[in-house]
Structure 1
Amino acid sequence: MSDIDTAKSLTGLLNGIAQKAYHNHGEVTEDLLRTELYPDLSPEDFHALHDKMRGLLKSIAMADMDPGQLEAFLTAQMKRQGGGGMSEGQASALSRFWRSQRARVRESLLAQSRWEPGLRGLAWRVDLQTSSGRGPEAAPGGPVALLELELGRPSQVSEYVCLECDEVTVNQVLKKMADIQRSIDTVVHRS
């Protein structure tokens, strides 16, 4: 295999590992990658290469390495003695792959770390309540804030929650938000 073919196969392997690990493409299996990219490699040798590249990519992704950190990490890996080290070609392929895929892998890791749906949007308005009850004795109410929250995960359809708050509730929410801001400011100014 020429150096160009080796680099292409290794880049394909890294892409396959990322597709399975970070982008939830379960159809990308180790056997598929071996058959498509390294048909001449024994299953044992391919398994060792696959595990090594998966481990290196995991280390790089979990640390969200910037270019300087990546260069230092790859240099240290190339200097390792024994079977644990890597070749210059492998380091180069990993470096090219990480430069092009860092943002996508980071975004995927962040999405996987969220357990609950996130806030996608917020719409609000203030209305006057026409009455505080039903029937002829109903008195007109005061202003109300109507909030519509759009919640969801990136890969799902949004859900909407509508809230109605009177003036007292809005003031309580604003006070809590001011308390949170003061707490954040205290921590930020302390560090």
Structure 2
Amino acid sequence: MSHDFKMADDTKNILALLNGIAKRNYYGETDITDEFLKQEIFPSFTDEDFSNLLSKCSSLIKSMVSADMDLNQSEVYLTSQMKKPEGGITENQANAFRKFWKIHKNKIHEAVISHSTWNNTLKHVSWRIDIQSQARHIDQINAPTAIMELQLGPKTTNTQKSEVVRFEMDEAKLGSVLQTMQDIENEVNKYCQQ
């Protein structure tokens, strides 16, 4: 019996497949195989039909993840997929994707970030401005100084300790750092608009 993507119209089964894909592709549960998913969710499908269904679902999830879609963007995306005459999705399938994305969006986002981070990450930044009231040289009195504190820690939140780095910057150095951050923001914005 041959099935196409539209034949897999049961919201519950599609949702189960999407959950299996997420567990395997984003949460690191490598023991979930294609064969396991087929036998548990769509045992009546041929291997070819299941492979096509799996590929289509994986591709749609990957598009949603790579664009880091919010719920409104995912709604527009799924609606556009429903309107496709060839290779589109049904309303029930779209409902499964909606439910899946609402539940998994943040968790997948965190998993993708965790997989792409190799070293410690910046956990917290705090700062204050101090005015020097005593100094060896008169021109240093009343000069503002930025006191920065960065908390660095492992990408996971287990029992590993965080490291705290403290340093001072004078007005000129602070201005230079702020300009560099502005330059970085401008470059990121240019990249995002392309």
TM-score, with structure 1 as normaliser: 0.68
Secondary structure of residue in 1 paired with 2:153: strand
Counterpart position of 1:45: 49
More helix per residue: 1 or 2? 1
Q: Does the aligned pair in 2 maintain the 1:64–1:106 contact within 8 Å? A: yes
Equivalent of 1:179 in 171, 176, 180: 176
Give 5+ residue unaligned stretches, structure 2: 1-8, 126-148, 190-194
Please state how far the C-alpha of 1:34 moved relative to its aligned partner: 0.7
Counterpart position of 1:154: 156
Tell me how large the CA RMSD over aligned residues is. Answer: 3.4
Counterpart position of 1:73: 77
Equivalent of 2:88 in 77, 85, 88: 85
Secondary structure of residue in 1 paired with 2:30: coil
Please state how far the C-alpha of 1:114 moved relative to its aligned partner: 1.3
What is the one-letter code of the residue matched to 1:91? A
Give 5+ residue unaligned stretches, structure 1: 123-146
Instruction: Kindly tell me the number of residue pairs found equivalent between the two proteins.
Output: 159
What is the one-letter code of the residue matched to 2:110? E
Q: Tell me which of the two structures has the higher relative contact order, counting C-alpha pairs closer than 8 angstroms and 6 or more residues apart.
A: 2
Secondary structure of residue in 2 paired with 1:27: coil
Equivalent of 2:65 in 57, 61, 64: 61
Distance across 2 between alignment mates of 1:77 and 1:185 = 38
Tell me if 1:15 matches 2:19. yes
Q: Does the aligned pair in 1 maintain the 2:120–2:152 contact within 8 Å? A: no
Deviations 1:95-126, CA, capped at 9 Å, x for gaps: 1110111111111111112122224579xxxx
What is the one-letter code of the residue matched to 2:180? S
Distance across 1 between alignment mates of 2:84 and 2:119 = 42
Distance across 2 between alignment mates of 1:120 and 1:104 = 18
Question: Within 5 A, what are the aligned runs for 1:103-182?
Answer: 103-120=106-123, 151-154=153-156, 158=160, 170-171=167-168, 176-182=173-179
Give the % identical residues: 29
